[in-house]
Amino acid sequence: MHTIKDGVNRDLSQRSIPVCDLVMRLTLSKNRCDDVAVVDMLLYFAYGIQEEGEAVHEQFVDLCHALASTLPLPADSALRELLPQASRPIIRYALDLNRHTREEHGLRGVSGAQVRSAAK
C-alpha cells in the first residue's frame, strides 16, 4: 500500500511519509485505514484493468463491495458511503470516488491523465 501511495505522491509532486511515520500514524489512529491511500490504489487498479473486459470489471466492483464491509474506515468517511455504490464504468466510478474522498481531506483529485502516465 505504501509503495502505491508513494508512486501517487511522486506523480503529484508531493512528499511521502516514511514507513515508520506511517506505522506511528496507524497506531495513533487505532488502526483505522487511510481512506485516501485506498482510493488512490483503487484508481490505479481501475486503470490497470480497464482493457481486461467485463468479467474483470465485475471483480473490481465486487472488490469495492467487499472493502466496504471489511475496511476499518472512520464513521464519517465518504469512502464508507461510496464503496457500496461501486458500479461500471469502473474508471468513472474510481475517479469520482477518488475526487470525493480527496476533497473530504482538503486534497485535490487525481486526474485520469496523471494515472495513465504513471500506470505505464
Q: What is the pLDDT of residue 31?
A: 58
Q: How many domains in the chain?
A: 1
pLDDT tens column, 71-95: 888 778 888 899 999 999 999 999 9
Q: What is the pLDDT of residue 22?
A: 66
Distance CA 73, CA 91 (A): 22
Cβ(49)–Cβ(60) below 8 Å: yes
**Section 65-76 average pLDDT:** 84
Which stretches of 12-111 are DSSP H helices?
19-28, 35-49, 54-70, 78-82, 90-104
Q: How confident is the model at residue 117 (pLDDT cuts 50, 70, 90)?
A: confident
pLDDT tens column, 38-59: 898 899 889 888 888 899 999 9
**Section 90-106 average pLDDT:** 93
Domain limits at 6?
Answer: 2-119
**6: which 3 cell numbers?**
508513494
* pTM exceeds 0.75, yes or no: no
Please report, as a single letter, which amino acid is at residue 20. Answer: C
Contacts of 80 (CB under 8 A, 6+ apart): 68, 73, 74
Q: Pick the residue with more confidence: 32 or 42?
A: 42
